[in-house]
Amino acid sequence: MIDTKTLTQLGAHVETPQSPDAAILETVPFARADGPPAIVRFTCPEFTSLCPVTGQPDFAHIVIDYAPDALLVESKSLKLFMTSFRNHGAFHEECTVMIGRRIVAATKPLWLRIGGYWYPRGGIPIDVFWQTGAPPEGVWLPDTGVAPYRGRG
């Protein structure tokens, strides 16, 4: 049984953080087994942030894959972190990379990749990809499952 006494958000009423900087990513221990590492996927198909110039909402489908080492990101804290971007003005590239870097800082995984599939702004969809390096040997990496933007076609 995992000791959850150190977790401050799981099982508690927590307000949405006002910014990603104010959000706390919590972790839980992970006992890695022998053999190739596990790949954990988080998908956020309704991610929202704000355009830093106009203040209008931007929308993305975010897919995060990581190979945990000794720590997992606790999913409620991740949800609160992701939701905190609704009040945050930043360009697509900054939001996507910031999410990846924060998860890496919190969990120190063996490997992480993130794909931000942003819906069109000014008629141009922007897809942003970032990873920490080559994936570990022997892991199974499924396709992200997000089709390129096709508009109405």
* CATH number of the domain encompassing residue 44: 3.30.1130.10
Instruction: Report the alpha-carbon distance of residue 26 to residue 91 in Å, rounded.
Output: 25
Which range (13-17, 27-31, 70-74, 133-137) has the least confidence?
Answer: 13-17
Average pLDDT over every residue of 110-131:
94
Amino acid identity, residue 119? Y
51: annotated active-site residue: yes
Counting the structural domains of the chain, the total is: 1
Across 108-127, average pLDDT = 93
Asked if residue 77 is part of any domain, the answer here is yes
> Does residue 85 belong to any structural domain of this protein?
yes
pTM for this structure? 0.92
The verdict on residue 9 lying in a domain is: no
Q: Which residues are annotated as a binding site for substrate?
A: 73-75, 92-93
Range of the domain at 47: 33-131
pLDDT band per the 50, 70, 90 thresholds, residue 19: very high
Alpha-carbon dihedral sign for residues 106, 112, 116, 117:
negative
Active-site residue (options: 58, 69, 95, 127): 58
Q: Does 10 reside within a domain?
A: no
Q: What percent of the chain has pLDDT over 70?
A: 94
Q: Can you tell me the distance from the alpha carbon of 116 to that of 49, in angstroms, rounded to the nearest whole number? A: 12
Is it the case that residue 82 has pLDDT exceeding 90? yes
Residue 62 pLDDT > 90: yes
Q: Quote the pLDDT of residue 59.
A: 96
Whether residue 4 is contained in a domain is answered as no
The answer to whether residue 122 sits within a structural domain is yes
Q: How far apart are CA 55 and CA 32, in angstroms?
A: 43
Of 3, 21, 51, 127, the catalytic one is 51
In a domain, 25, yes or no: no
- Rounded CA gap, 132 and 25, in Å? 18
- Residues forming the annotated binding site? 73-75, 92-93
Asked if residue 2 belongs to a domain, the reply is no
pLDDT at 63 over 80: yes
pLDDT of res. 6: 79
DSSP type of residue 147 = P
pLDDT greater than 60 at residue 112? yes
Active site residue 95: no
Q: Is the pLDDT of residue 8 over 80?
A: no
